[in-house]
Structure 1
Amino acid sequence: MFENLSEKLERSFKLLKGQGKITEINVAETLKEVRRALLDADVNFKIAKTFTEAVKEKALGQDVLTAVKPQQMMVKIVHDELTDLMGGVSTDINIKANPSIILIAGLQGSGKTTFSGKLANLLKTKRGKKPMLVAGDVYRPAAINQLQVLGEQIGVPVFTQEGSKNPVQIAKDAIRDAKQKGCDVVIIDTAGRLAVDEEMMNEISAVKKAVDPHEILFVVDSMTGQDAVNTAKEFNDRLDFDGVVLTKLDGDTRGGAALSIRSVVNKPIKFVGTGEKMDALDVFHPSRMADRILGMGDIVSLVERAQEQFDAEEARKLQKKLQKNQFDFNDFLSQIQQIKKMGSLKDLASMIPGMGKAIKDMDFDDDAFKGIEAIIFSMTPDERANPAIINGSRRKRIAAGSGTSIQEVNRLLKQFEDTRKIMKMAGQGKNLTRALAGMQPGRRP
């Protein structure tokens, strides 16, 4: 996500490295590269020009403190301008009514149906709502089935009317059904087209007029760049939607849509999709996105994801087990499963400051834990609770049962033992440096 843009912006800031002060000449050289980086990211030309002019005005008007280097000052100014460009602050959706009606719009293939499921899951698990999904796409045969599968997966009811070709009537009947079932949010998934056309606009306008939604969200594929921005403008002219959802932000996106769309339609980006899983949906925070674009990571979001999986009671129990050196494979497996729930490994790593560039060309396998889990699942309950009893014959059986080799089983047992030593010392507040040094081949603590 934004890898090329991040790299080019970083390169542009290096022009100021070693400079004693900000001058009109070095600012002009830097901003020429910044503008080029934005255009390469498929940012609208006028927006890129306005952006760099605003940065230039602020940079030349700065009284740079001696403690702050020109390069650092420029990064700060660009960060603030990027944040403003993307909306400044996060904007929530309107779900105060009962039921709150949310209308989902967008082109075919933009990810509307998947987003509808993700939004329902987020509202159910994090907001305590009771949502209902509505299959309002009467043209794409797979759309209804897809929504039903998603609804079953997240435990949310899905309203359908098989054979009906009237999306207005479907929406009305769905709202009535939601009231009867006590659902407090109705999410209406509408039909998309391969391109904007009059028939499509008339249809979704009719649905809007009939149900008077409290929130209209325009879903756009962020990988389409400026085409996404142009489509958003056409939809907004007809629907006057409340916010934008950027999907597939985990793909090979240049970032142009995220940076341009707010300026073009003057509507906030409210959510970003970062994967296929139902929990891969994040509230959009302009400042945090600016952090990531500039290679600063996003520690706040990383901590928030960790806290969502954090169980205080379980943590206390684990602390006691660590202090008594009773950490076993059941605990090890539990920690792995919590990490997996936080999202893709590459996305998590990119949130750590300085890691974005380091992992740019690395291939992260989100199934990397499968082999470890298979080995642990092939152990008996006694072996998981007391790894010390795993002798040669048991290792051979575990390898056969997990479809791995004895070497892989031995490697996991060694890693587990090393991890247990470190965690025990951490739990007792001892010197970890000596422990880590002692685990290196040929070194003694």
Structure 2
Amino acid sequence: MFIFWDQYHPDMNKNPGAEEKFKEISAAYEVLSDDEKRSLYDRFGESGLQGENGGPTNASEVDPSDLFDAFFGRTDGLFSDEGGFGFNMRNSGNRGNDIRHDLRLSFEESVFGVKREIEISCYETCNTCDGTGAKSKNGIKKCTSCGGKGGEKKTQRTPFGMMSQVSTCSKCGGLGMIITDRCRKCDGSGLVQAKRKMDVVIPPGVSDGDTMKIRGEGNFDKRRRYTGDLFVVLHVDRKQGIWREGLNLYSKINIDFTEAILGSVKKVETVEGFKDLQIPSGIQHGHSVKLSRLGVPDMNRPSIRGDHYFVVNVLLPNDISGTERSLVEQLASLRASRQGHSWSSDDTGQRKGKFNDSMWRDKRSDASSEETETASSLWGSIKNFLRRGNSDERFASISQDTSTLMWRFGHQNYSVPHSIFVVLFITWILKSIAKSIQKRT
């Protein structure tokens, strides 16, 4: 404010219009810096600052609030158009005639909007006295203290010139008149209490605690010639299982561990009713699945809408049957083999012992080599026996190979028919050897 004083002071600014601008700034400062004068302006507007009703004095006719807004910016709410919604109860001259109404909404109504009929308690002009507060015109007299002005003017000299200050008349309360014969219906107030019904349109996307300002729907005071505003404070009920964060909605969903592994389709509740939610296979605990555009619309841009997220809670069973345990162990074994591990279970079902694929292949390779060596030894012994002429050597050779062969076969888990064939074949060879020896002797 002092910056503007220096900028437009006549001694510092010789431009045309600077002096008039300086007077406007001084008048605005006079009102804004004085609590009583500011209160008078809040109650009666610009007329409360005038020297006479209907005519201005040497004080400027500028609106101090408008001047203040021009210099320092307005502080109105989100919606300031006539009949719109405001979210900031700004001080105004109609402050005493404003009405507050609390309105409760369901969760769905706050999301999609709703049209509601409300009934408010208000003060209206008394139709008996037509708002004068007097029983008749003869019952009204001009206040002798303020001369009918409603305020007492005081003028004083300041470094910036002559400053006038108007205070509320203590005798008439700022009305400028005294009621000698009051109206019986309103008891001299000029107002009567009444009920009023009206429709209120709630826009989509409102939040708990938002306040709608509806201009011109407050109390009407004919004597002071202004109407207050209606402030509707919204209270949104909570919805079980759904909560809001910004434009997005959130819910929790429980699924079985088998559903987490295999995937599933679940019925879930949304603000638009029950919907199918596709659970992808392999989803992890704490991850979320989204249903697009099922959240809250943007109040300023209704075409923009949030999403509904479902946070997954994977449930593990506390107790399972023996069959279920066996199936889970088989699954664990299969998964371990895929990952290069093999597991075994003891009587308590605890896994123990493991080896990797390379060790398993080595053992399989060793077993295959032993089979090959065993077969080679068998046929090699037979061929050597038939080729050699020394019976003792032949018998000894077969005896040694046979014992080795039987030991190896006993550790390779061969089938019973295979073992019987080997025994019969060896018996036939032994009999042939015995006959050959008898012929030679």
* TM-score of the pair, normalised by structure 1: 0.17
| Structure in which a larger fraction of residues adopt strand | 2
Determine which structure has greater relative contact order: mean sequence separation of CA pairs < 8 Å that are 6+ residues apart, divided by chain length. 1
* TM-score of the pair, normalised by structure 2: 0.17
| Structure in which a larger fraction of residues adopt helix | 1
